[in-house]
Each structure stands twice: as structure tokens, then as C-alpha cells.
Structure 1
Amino acid sequence: MNLDTFEKLQLEEVKELIKEHCVSSLGKMLIDKLQPSGNYSVVRRKLEENKEARQVLENSNHIPLEGLFNINSVIDKVEKGMILEPVELIACEDFLRGCRKIKKFMIDKEFYAPTLSSYALNITECEDIEEEINFSIKNNKVSSDASKELKKIRRNIDICEGRIKEKLNKFLTSSTNKKYIQEFIISKRDDRFVVPIKSSFKNEVQGVILDTSSKGSTVFIEPQSISKYSLELISLKSEESIEEYKILSYLTELIYDKIKEINLNMEIVSQYDMVFAKSKFSQNNNCITPEINNHGYTKIIKGKHPLLKGSVVPLDFEIGDKYRSLIITGPNAGGKTVTLKTVGLLTLMTQCGFDIPAMENSEIAIFEKIFVDIGDNQSIENALSTFSSHIKNIAEIMREANKNTLVLFDEIGSGTDPNEGASLAIALLEEFYQMGCITIASTHYEEIKHFANKHPHFENAGMMFDKETLEPLYKLTIGKSEDSNALFISKKMGVKESVLRKARAYMDEKNYDFTLVNESKIYQKTIEQEKSSIINFVDFKVGDKVELLDFNDFGIVHKPMDKLNNLEILYKDKFINVNVRRLKLKVKAKDLYPENYDLESLFVSFKKRKLEKDLQRGSKKALKKIQKEIKNNR
């Protein structure tokens, strides 16, 4: 497996669809890490989990996965010896409670989900830690009930703050202090109580200035009368912080003692989140759990590409029993590439442990390696043509492939001389067959179709095409090749029958027609056509308003037609040359402007005309302006 295969077959896009059904980032992280497995036993176990998860979903109204959020960052802090904050402890409590709920839920489902149910037996319940956190943390802070000492300290803090407020109220209501006070309120600065005093009286009030307003008109003073109580309050706040730290340390230690069990819990609930996301995707997309084998046999019944929206023609496909290589032919845009991608993607999905959008009794082979050569791999940086890049990719695939490999080729051998390309493609297909690979390739080459007809372990297949409507049917028929229908499509599109007859003859024989038409006749005819067309040209005049056919807009004729039949047109403050054939007369100049009107003024701006008049009357200012422009342009 390689990243190019995953990218070309759009596996990551399917994983994104499945991640939408995850409850937390725990399951999403697992899906991100998920890689297709070439191990038959591993894939079978994953697919069995899917069946059980769908049974659980079908028999339950709700899966209790709430609260199972990712607490990896919290656990990292604990492992580093850091003390958790109240919010982090609540996250741990929610997670542990969620683990307990999912454990009870899954154990009750042992009858029809024995494998998934058995995982729950390894979840460790930490109800004592839940209770301690719930008792000690309220509203995202340490509760006063967490310890007797903390309750006593906070009671003393309340008493002290009450005394401070009482003193400050007396200060505010005193007639002596009335003239000093800016606002009759009690405020706080740096967790200390202050009153707003007019800055002009700051030296009249005894106390400590703790802050000043932005305009400087107000100072915030802690009056001397409460300084004793402020110091007492600071001391009590310090005692409160120490006691809270002790409680948080105790709770963090409880989690640390169960760190291994909690990490295991996270792994198990991550698996549950991922498995139920896969099963929800399966239900929403009418997927089935396919049968699997490890001997290269694939049978897809009414399969669909999971990323295609709308009405999709289902695919019936089979390979690996009577034939191990399939050659797909048919018209352009007929669905050959989609067929290759559908087979490859459904195989990758199965090996990731995902259900696939197909009908029951579909069977998917498990491969050790899957390679694709699809799309234009042209590289400008490495100076590789389309053909060179394809061959480079195929050479790398040949080095890596083994007998347990699926290989998908789109338009194998294309991009070069058809005879050489077809011969090379046959040799490559034969080599991959002899290596034991399962190979699916699309092509337009007749030689490859003939080779597949003769080879006992190759088979042809064709994408069907409606010859009446020119529409591809996107339906694959195995055992029958289809033509590219190039001549038929050309006829429907209006190509002359004489040209098509020549093309059919050239397909059978190479007797090309080199008869040339008399060149002098062609030249004479061209001259006559040009003369005829010139005679019919409109005689455009300066100032005419014309329609510019290429711009679907209007302009004004500045200069009449030259020898090359071009006119100079003023269009959006710029002069452009336009051929007479690309113009259409809208309004003649004589109908637009009065008699003896200075038409040249249409093409000179007012600013320029004023400057010229200023220069004519000898304006020094205008002369300086011209000299400045000349200097700037040097």
C-alpha cells in the first residue's frame, strides 16, 4: 500500500465521511490512523465488529457515548506531575462516568454483540474518583465543603470583607468626605477594595492610591481606615489558595494512581466511537459487510462508488475465478475509469474494516498490496511527458508487486505511437499475469482486446453505450468488448460522410489520398472573397458611435480604416485597434454632434485641453508642470 494509491482512489475522502459520525475526537483520531490491512484475520475481525455494531444500533434507541471526550492533554499533565485545574478535573469526572455507562450498556448487549461486549470487561470503573471530584468541585471551582479548613477560611474571608464594606460605606456617607468623592461606589483594584476620589483631592484623603482613571481625573484609593482589614484579607486569601491547592493535589493524585486504567479506558472507548461511526455510515449509505477471501476472487453485486452523488448506475463485477486479468473497453466518458476506481476503493474500504455500498453476497479479495496507474502523472519539474510518467509509475509498481497484488491501469500504453503502445501494454499485462497479480486495465487498443480473447486467463469487458442518444450507460458487460465508437459519434456530431468513409477505409488499408486542390484557384478564390467583403464594409467616420462585438460594449471611432481594415477606437479612455469585421455602426457622428463641432475634443481630456490653452497664453505654472513631467520621465 502507498499514499499515491490512497490519494488516487480517494480513500481519505471516504474516511472524512465516516468521521462525521464520531462523537468525539477519540474516534476521529483512530480513523485518521486507520490503514488498509493485508491480513485476512485482522480484516475479518473488523468486519465482524461492524455486524455486531449494526445489531446494537438496530436494537437500541441510543448509544451512551456522551462525555467521552478526548482527555489526552489532561492525562499528559498528570503524567508530568502537574496539578489539575477544577475544569480539568470535571472533564475527567465526565469521562469516567461515560466509561461506566458504556461499560454497563455494552455488557447488556452480550447476546448479539459478544465480541464488542467483551471489550467492555476491560473498562475500569472509578466511581470513587467520580464521587470525590463531584463532592469537591462545584461550578468549576473548589467547593467550600471540600474540607473543614477551607470552609473556616472562607467564612473568615466573608466576615473580613463585611467589615471592610461597612467601613467604606461610613467613609462614603461621611459629610466630611463628600467633596472628595468622584462616585459613591465601592470598587476593586487588584482584589483590594477602593473608592473613586477626585484627583485634585488625592492628597487630602489618607490612604494608598492603587489605580488612576484613563483620563487622570479619578484616583482609586484604599482608605487608611481599612488598611488593617485589607492586610488580614490578603492573608486569608493566601490561606485559601494553599488549602485549594491541597485539595486539587489530592484529587490529581487519585487520577495518577489509576493512570494506566484510565489510558486503557480511553483506548477502548476510542474503539467504540470508531466502530459505531462506521456502523452509522453503513446504515446511512445502505452498505453491507462483504464476504472476504485471500485467493484473489472479487465479486461485486450492484456496487456503488460512495463519493458519487445522485442517481448512480450500480456496478456488477467479477474477477479472480475463471480469469485473473480483465480488459475494459468502451467510449470516452463511458465509465471505465469510474469502474476501476470503484473496484479499487471498495477493496481498500473492506481492508480498512469498512462496510461497502453493495448488495448481499458481494465478496472482496484481501490483497497484500494495491497499486494504481490512473490519471495524468505528467511532471513539468522532472520533464516527464504523460507517457513517460505512466511508464515510470508502472516500472515502480512492477518492482514492488507480488503474487498477492491488485493492479489497476487506466488507458494502459496510451500517450505514444499506437502500435508500440499496444505491444508494450500487452507485454506489461502478460508480465503482471505471470507474477500472479490480479490485473484490471482499460484501453482503446484493438490489439489488446484480441490478445485478451486468445489468452485463457484474460477476459474482455465493455462499458455499454446508447447509440441513439450518444449517452454512455455506465454499465459493464463482462465477456464482451465495446468499441470506442469514435466514427459513430463523429457522424452524430455532423462530420461529413465523405470524411467518415475515408476514415473507415484507412482503418482497413493505408492507401492515403494525397490529391491536392489547385493552389492558384484557392488563392484566386481567397482574393475574390476579400474584395467582396471589403465592398460590403461600412464606411465608418471619425466620431461615429460603434458597437464592439468582442466586448459587447460601445466606443468612438478616432481614426478611419487603414490598409489592414483596422480602425482606431476610443474605448474606456484607451485607444485600441479593432478590425472592421468586429464593429457595428450604432449612431453616425453627424447625428450625434452639431455642425462644425470640434470632433478632436472628444479624444482629448478637459485637463489636457486646459493645459494646452494655459501654455498658449504663457502660463508659468503650466510651463513648470510640463518641465516637472519631463524631469520625472527621464
Structure 2
Amino acid sequence: MNNNAIEKLQYNEIKEMLKSFCVSGLGKNLIDKLTPESNMKIVKTRLQETSEGRNILDIYSYVPLEGISNINKFIEKIEKGMVLECDELNSFSDFFRGCTKIKQFMINKEDLAPLLSSYSNSIVDFKSIEDEINLSIKGNRVDSSASKELKRIRRLIDVTEEKIEEKLSKFLKNDSNKKYIQEFFISKRNGRYTIPIKSSYKNFVEGSIVESSSKGTTIFMEPKAIGKLSQELIVLKSDEAIEEYQILATLTGIILEKIKDIKINKELIAQYDMIFSKAKYSKSIKGIEPKINNYGYIKLIKCKHPLLRGNVVPLDFEVGDNYRTLIITGPNAGGKTVVLKTLGLLTLLVQSGIHIEGEKGSEIAIFDKIFVDIGDDQSLENALSTFSSHMKNLSAIMKESNRNTLLLFDEIGSGTEPSEGAALAISILEEFYHMGCITVATTHYGEIKRFSEKHSDFENAAMKFNKETLEPLYKLVIGKAGNSNAIWISRKMGISEKVLERAQNYMKKREYNFNLVKESKVKKASFDEQETNKENFYEYKKGDKVLLLDYNYSGIVYEEIDENNNLKIFVNNDILEVNYKRIKLEIKASNLYPEDYDLNTIFQEYKERKLEKDIKRGSKKALKKIQKEIKKHYI
């Protein structure tokens, strides 16, 4: 299934909800791998499993799946030739006990859940291995009863430890030793029995130093009197470890011999956990199993989007029977996009064997592919890029679609010039229609609505809104295009009826009024205002120093005002063309230069530099000017 559709329709959020109903990591791992299925037979089986699980939960409040451990990593360890620890063997014991419980629970549920009950027949009973583990392991420790040899070794260990403690007690009670002893108790350090001795007397006591205190004031010594017994204890402890390892290895080997059947049990238990998580989810939403088909017909009766909260308006919807393409119109924030997402997500869920919230009689088609083009982040600033990304997405969808494809398009053709966008959208919808796709699209374009009205296999639908309060009702009405909500809203906001009627006429006929405003409506300047304007207007002369208002620095008038009311201003060795309203006189030329001063000398350097620059770039005009000067000089 298309990953973009999975993400846009929030399919994975439903999977997270399902995982919360699981009781083991086995079921959660299976849900992580869950994807919508397009095979009709598999979808039917998945839905039947969920429905049978729901039947059981409706009668029994408890399904004995609790306590089942995720044994995947322990199976991997065994297959690598490693020996399991006590706690890992206990996990297998818990798993075997859980298998037995669920087998016993399901075996007499044929009437309620024939399919789920039949799965229990494949569960293998490992009661003997479970008992063997429980006999040998007690409280994450190999029990003495696990073998006669282990029991013998541990008895000898107990006897040896008693002898050591007896000798050490005598050492502590001996008056001649009291001055050496820091504290009068037996301390076990690094598995060896010691007495705390004052560090200053360490050379006065025969024995081995095992450890010293952090401050160095106390030395923990193993007296010579227990040296032989300590060596015996070390050997016995080694024998104990070897025997424990052999017992753990034997238990691990027993499990390895049955690893194939254990894996089958594991898969069955994981399936049960996932199926009952779907059933628990169904019960929590009062879900139903809809009818399914493979020919593109969808009918939703009072269905709801599973992620919406609060007072959600249920959706009634139909496509794929009398029409194969549905065009939805309506106000912004009126629920058009929610319709698309509800339809898409419910289809994905059903193809995953998950119940939906709705009423009996609802029907979902099983599709090979589902594609969506839903843009949630549109803005004026990125309108072009939004349109481009939509077109790129639609192009990719067109290459991959087939006759068993569901298409969900939000605001198709938007993000560009309306008439061009509408024409393009119609052509795209038409192409998908002839490919055999089932298409649901939202739009604001009236041209698309009109096309849909005329096409026998297209249908219009509208999102209703309250004309009095101007609030959306989030209800879809199939069979009619949306009214002009803009006209209704404008009327409620007080726009005159004459203006609204003219707007409606423009919408229908596309014939506009180009009459000019009446002379009586145009305010003219009075005689006094005209005289004042004449007085205020200054005719700038070449050489005048002016302030450029937009840049806040000065320049010299190079060419006087032209027919467009623009002047050329010499600024920073360059010429700028500026409207006379964007400059302000600073000093008149007559006040800057002497009478009969040649103003052309001011700009001579600029003209020469400009000519040189034009020659370098190969300007034909500059070359002609030079040729003209040469002829003038020699003729």
C-alpha cells in the first residue's frame, strides 16, 4: 500500500491504539508489521477473526493471555548455541503455561468462534518441559533438587562453611587476638570469610589479606586456621557452578529439541494477542464488521473518523454504483477534507481486518491501491510550489493507478489561475475515470461542478452549512452541488442585493459591464485648486540640485521632465529615471552656476565613460556614433 496514503490518513496512529490493547510484546510486534491487504480472501479471514474475538469479549470479560512473555530474543540465543540463564528459562515456563491456558480456554468456543477455536488445535502442549523447569529453577536460582550431585555438593558446602564459621568464632573469642581485631564479627569479602584486623597489627596475624577499608585503617584477613577449609570451599563452589551449568544446559537442550513447535506456538499466541487487541478496540468504539466487495462500491452509514473526539457528526456516503467519481463542494472548514480522510482511513482499516464505527449495512470495497493528494499547508506565499507539488504527485499517481484504485483528491486543480486550474482538474479527473478508478475529489471551482452535473457517471455532493449562523454542519448531501456560499455570506454581511445579483449574473453568463463612470460622479478640481496646483508645480531645469525622496540623497537634473512626468537625474556617476513627485528641489541651477555656464561639462565625464562602456560591450549604437564623429571631423 502507498506509504504517502498510510501517513496522510494517519493509519499508524490507529496501530498505536491497537498496541495499547495488547498484553505481550509478541502481539505488539505483529501489529507493527500489520499492513492493509488487497487479497479478498485474506481480508475476509481477518475480519472474521476480529468478529469472533469480539463475540468472545462480549460474553467473557477475561481472555487468559496475561503473563505470556516475549521469548523471541531467547529463541535467538538458543539457536546461537548459548545456554539460557535461570530467569530466561522462567520466561519459557511462563510462555508454556500461557499456551496451555489459552488452548484450554479456546478449545470449547466452537459455537462462538469456530475459526479462532480451530487455531488452538495447533497449539502444542509443553507441560512436561514446563514442569522440568519449575522443578529445577526456584526464584531465579537452580534448586538443589535439580540433581543428586548438586544436592550432595551443596550439603558439603554447608558443612564446610559451618566449620569455617566455627573456627573464626574461636578466633574472635581468643583473648590473645582481641588487641588485633578492629570489629568483632565475621565478614565475607570476595566470597572468602575474613576478620576485620587493625592495619597496624596486620603483621601480627597469620593469614592472607583479602581486602582493606577505604581509609586503610582496617584490613580484612583470612586467618591461617581456615586456609585449608577455604580452599576446599573454593573447589566445592567450582563444582557447584559446573553442575548448575550442566543443569541449565540440559534444560536449554530440551527446549532446543522442540524449538520448531515452540515457534509455531509463539506465532499462534502472537496472532491471538493481535486478534483480541482488534476485538478490544472494536468493543471500545462499538465497532461493526462491514460488508466487503471487490468491485469498487462503498457505502458508509453513520460512520465516524476513529481519531475525532467529541460530538462527531456521522458520515453517510456512497460511491461506485450509480457513479464512479464524486465531486464534493462546500465552505472552508466545512468538513470536506474530513470526508476524504474518513473514507480513506476506514478503507485501510477494513483491509487490515479492523472494525469501523458505523451502522450495519455499511460496505467497503477492497482496493489494490489507495492514493491521496491532500495538502494541509497551503499559503499564498508558496502557491506556485504547492501547485507544482500537487501536479508532481498526481503525475506519479497516474502512472501507478489501475482499475482497482481508490483516489482521494483535496482541492484538485487549486494553486493556479482558476479557469486554467479547473480545466486541468477536469481533464485529470476524466483521465482517471477512463482508467477505471474510483475517485472522490473536493473543489471550489464551479466549472468542475458543472462538468460533474453533465457527466452521467459523475456526481456532485455538498457539505451543508447553516445559512443563518454561517456555521458548517459537517454533513454531506450527495446529489447536489454546493450553493454559492460566498453569495450567502455576503448577503448576511450586508452587501446590497443589486451587487449580489450582478455577481450571480457574472457567474452564469461571464458577461461583464465595462461602462465608464458617469461624469457627474467624478469630482473635479475647483478653479482655486487648479490655480494652487499650477503655483505649486515647479518645472525642473537641467542642472537643478534635487533630493531623491526614496533614497534620501541628492542628485543633479540631467534631462528635464518628459511626457510621462519623469526626469533623468545624475546620481553617483549614474543616471536614474525618477517621477517628478519623487524628488524635491534643493537648489536651482541658476543659484548654483554662473550665468552662461556650460552645464554639459558637468556630465561630460559620465558621457565619455558610458560611451567607452558601450563600445566594450559591442553596442552598435555607440559604434555608429563614433563613425559619425569621424566623418564630421574629416569631411
TM-score (norm 1): 0.79
Give 1:395's aligned residue.
Answer: 395
- Who is 1:201 aligned against? 201
* Structure 1 CA distance for aligned equivalents of residues 94 and 503 of structure 2: 75
CA gap of 1:459–1:176, structure 2 versus 1, over 3 A, is same
The whole-number CA distance in structure 1 between the counterparts of 2:524 and 2:368 is 65
* 8 A Cα contact 2:69 2:92, kept in partner: no
**Aligned position for 1:488:** 488
**Match of 1:123, as an amino acid?**
I
Contact 2:384 2:416 in 1 (8 A): no
Matched ranges for 1:540-559 at <5 A: none
Preserved CA contact (<8 Å) 1:326 1:460: yes
Q: In the aligned structure 1, how far is the partner of 2:407 from the partner of 2:459?
A: 15
User: CA 1:378–1:301 in 2, change beyond 3 Å: closer, same or farther?
Assistant: closer
Within 2, Cα distance between the matches of 1:305 and 1:315? 9
Q: 1:170 to 1:493 in 2, by over 3 A?
A: farther
Q: Which residue of 2 aligns with 1:510?
A: 512
Judge which range, 104-113 or 497-506, deviates more: 497-506
Q: Which residue number in structure 1 is paired with residue 232 of structure 2?
A: 232
Q: Distance in 1 between matches of 2:502 and 2:430?
A: 35
Distance in 2 between the 1:369 and 1:336 partners? 22
**311 and 514 in structure 1: CA distance in 2 versus 1, 3 angstrom threshold:** farther
Residue in structure 2 matched with residue 143 of structure 1 by the alignment: 143
Matching residue of 1:42: 42
1:468 pairs with 2:468? yes
Q: Deviations over 1:121-164 (max 9, x none)?
A: 11111111011101111111000011111111101101111111
Residue 487 of structure 1 deviates from its aligned partner by 3.8
Q: Distance in 2 between matches of 1:520 and 1:144?
A: 116
Does 2:59 align with 1:33? no
Distance 1:518 1:165 in 2: 120
Q: Secondary structure of the equivalent of 2:177?
A: coil
The equivalences for 1:10-21 within 5 A come to 10-21=10-21
Which residues in structure 2 correspond to 1:244-283 (within 5 Å)? 244-283=244-283
Deviation at 1:66, TM superposition (A): 2.0
Are the equivalent residues in 2 in contact too, given 1:378–1:389 (CA < 8 A)? no
Deviations 1:388-440 (A, max 9, x none): 00010001000000000000000000000000000000000100000000000
Match of 1:95?
Answer: 95
**1:547-570 CA distances to partner (integer Å, 9 max, x unpaired)?**
xxxxxxxxxxxxxxxxxxxxxxxx
- Tell me, yes or no, if the aligned pair for 1:331 and 1:484 is still in contact at 8 Å: no
CA shift in 2, pair 1:184/1:102, >3 Å: same
Task: Give the CA deviation at 1:61.
Answer: 3.2
Q: Which residue matches 2:121? A: 121
Any conservation in 2 of the 1:444–1:483 contact (CA below 8 Å)?
no
Distance of 1:238 and 1:484 partners within structure 2: 90
1:3 to partner: Cα distance: 0.8
Determine helix, strand or coil for the equivalent of 1:61. Answer: coil
1:294 touches 1:365 (CA, 8 Å); kept in 2?
yes
Residue deviations 1:446-490 (CA, integer Å, cap 9, x gap): 011110110000000000000111110000000011135124334
Q: Which amino acid aligns with 2:11?
A: L
Q: Equivalents in 2 of 1:93, 1:324: separation in Å?
A: 56
Structure 2, unaligned runs of 5 or more: 530-635
Residue 509 of structure 1 deviates from its aligned partner by 3.9
Alpha-carbon distance, 1:511 to partner = 3.5
Contact 2:383 2:416 in 1 (8 A): no
3-state secondary structure, aligned to 2:440: strand
1:330 to 2:313 alignment: no
Q: Say how many residue pairs are matched.
A: 521
Distance 1:199 1:519 in 2: 116
Q: What displacement does 1:517 show?
A: 7.8
Q: Classify the secondary structure of the residue corresponding to 2:205.
A: coil
Contact 1:329-1:484 within 8 A present in 2 as well: no
Instruction: Give percent identity, aligned residues only.
Output: 61
Do the aligned partners of 1:290 and 1:364 also contact (CA within 8 Å) in 2?
yes
Q: Is the 8 A contact 1:413 1:425 kept in 2?
A: yes
1:292 partner SS: strand
Q: How large is the Cα RMSD of the aligned pairs?
A: 2.3
Alpha-carbon offset, residue 213 of structure 1: 1.2
CA distance in 2, matches of 1:520, 1:176: 129
Compared CA separation, residues 485 and 514, structure 1 to 2 (3 A): farther
CA distance in 1, matches of 2:516, 2:97: 87
Shift of 1:510: 3.5
- Cα distance, 1:172 vs structure 2: 1.6
User: Match of 1:105, as an amino acid?
Assistant: F
Shift of 1:491: 5.1
Q: Distance between the aligned counterparts of 1:136 and 1:513, measured in 2?
A: 103
The 2-side partners of 1:293 and 1:158 are apart by 74
- Pairs within 5 Å for 1:398-409: 398-409=398-409
Q: Kindly state the Cα deviation for residue 241 of structure 1 after the two structures are TM-superposed.
A: 0.5
Alpha-carbon distance in 2 for matches of 1:376, 1:17 = 24
Query: Structure 2: how far apart are the matches of 1:491 and 1:198?
Result: 101
**CA 1:498–1:209 in 2, change beyond 3 Å: closer, same or farther?**
farther
Q: CA deviation at 1:203?
A: 1.5
**Cα deviation digits, residues 577-613 of structure 1 (max 9, x gap):** xxxxxxxxxxxxxxxxxxxxxxxxxxxxxxxxxxxxx
Q: 1:458 and 1:517 mapped to 2: Cα distance?
A: 51
Q: Residue 186 of structure 1 aligns with which residue?
A: 186
User: 8 Å contact 1:331–1:483 — kept in the other structure?
Assistant: no
Aligned to 2:600: none
Partner of 1:619: none
Q: For residue 318 of structure 2, what is the aligned residue in structure 1?
A: 318
TM-score normalised by L of structure 2: 0.79
**Residue matched to 1:447:** 447
Q: Secondary structure at the match of 2:420?
A: helix
Q: Where does residue 65 of structure 2 map in the other structure?
A: 65
Q: What corresponds to 2:424 in structure 1?
A: 424
Q: Which amino acid aligns with 2:223?
A: P
Instruction: Provide the C-alpha distance between the structure 2 equivalents of 1:484 and 1:218, rounded to a whole number of angstroms.
Output: 95
With over 3 angstroms needed to count, the CA separation of the structure-2 counterparts of 1:519 and 1:276, relative to structure 1, is farther
Which residue of structure 1 lines up, in the alignment, with residue 561 of structure 2? Answer: none
Given the alignment of the two structures, is residue 131 of structure 1 paired with residue 127 of structure 2, yes or no? Answer: no
CA distance in 1 between partners of 2:241 and 2:18 (Å): 46
Pair member with larger Rg? 2
Change in Cα spacing, 1:488 to 1:151, as seen in structure 2 (3 Å) is same
* In structure 2, C-alpha distance between the alignment counterparts of 1:494 and 1:239, rounded to whole Å: 98
In the superposition, relative to structure 1, how do residues 423 and 214 fare at CA in structure 2: closer, same or farther (>3 Å)?
Answer: same
| 1:377 and 1:389 in contact (8 A); partners too | no
Once the 2 structures are TM-superposed, how far is the Cα of residue 357 of structure 1 from its aligned partner? 0.8
SS at match of 1:83: coil
Contact residue 384 and residue 415 of structure 2 kept, 8 A: no
What residue in structure 2 maps to residue 438 of structure 1? 438
Shift of 1:493: 5.3
Distance 1:341 1:514, change over 3 A: farther
State the one-letter code of the partner of 2:410: D
1:291 corresponding residue in structure 2: 291
